[in-house]
Amino acid sequence: MQSYNKDDTKEEYVRVLDYLPYGHPSDTRPVYQKRPVIQAIGEEHLSLLEIVPKKGKKGDPYDRLYVGRGLRDVVDYVKRRISYNDLTNAAKMELLNVIEEIVKDNEGKFIEFFNKSDSITPRFHHLEIIPGIGKKLMWKIIEERNKSPFTSFKDIEARVTTLYHPEKLIARRIEEEIREDNIKYRTFVKPFVKQTEFKKS
């Protein structure tokens, strides 16, 4: 579904997963050298990011922060992209719920997936990557979207009556793609590649 290039992980807005006032636990520097960090997930590319807030600023889980170019209220700079394993336990616990909020707030983008996804192989359809969608549900979704495109998650639920909370199913798939390095048929999240810290900007 997606094609990636080197700029694809640039985010404009993120949602906070955890705030670490004394820096990341893996940072072995003396306390006086550490700065607070925020762990967050981007809204557009769903990248996990570590962010350094401005002095005196913090972020609480679910907060929406601007990290793009221009004046920022809370964020000093984006430090680096991180992997699922870099997340704190608290961030991991919040991740699925925060993803679900992003999915609901960007409903049109994910409704397009239900309306336009096609076969990956002759025997496997893109819809089947979503947890809980097997052949029977897949064919019902295709039958309904051929009549007319879906307009919302509620519309999907009303017309495909055995498909409950599609936004939750999408969120679960996104979490899987973030969590699993070797997942097959990656669709929503670019694979993590370890990198050096971003330059302050």
Backbone angles phi, psi at 177, to 5 degrees: -70, -30
**How many angstroms separate the CA atoms of 117 and 30, rounded?**
50
**Whole-number Cα distances in Å, 184 to 58, 111, 166, 191:** 37, 22, 21, 11
**How many angstroms separate the CA atoms of 38 and 61, rounded?**
9
pLDDT for 201:
45
Specify the pTM: 0.88
Note the pLDDT tens digit of each residue in 8-66: 458 999 999 999 998 887 777 877 778 899 999 999 999 999 999 999 999 999 999 99
Question: Looking at domain 13-89, which CATH architecture does it have?
Answer: Beta Barrel (2.40)
Please report, for the chain, the start and end positions of each structural domain, with discontinuous segments joined by +.
13-89
Bridge partners of 15, per DSSP, are: 41, 64
51-82 residues labelled b (16+ CB within 10 A) or e (exposed)? bbbeeebebebeeebebeeeebebbbebbbbb
Note the pLDDT tens digit of each residue in 113-156: 999 999 999 899 999 999 999 999 999 999 999 999 999 999 99
Strands, DSSP E only, in the chain? 13-20, 37-42, 48-53, 64-66, 75-81, 119-121, 124-125
**How many angstroms separate the CA atoms of 40 and 23, rounded?**
14
**How many angstroms separate the CA atoms of 157 and 121, rounded?**
27
pLDDT for 5:
37
Residue among 108, 193, 189 at smallest CA distance from 155: 108
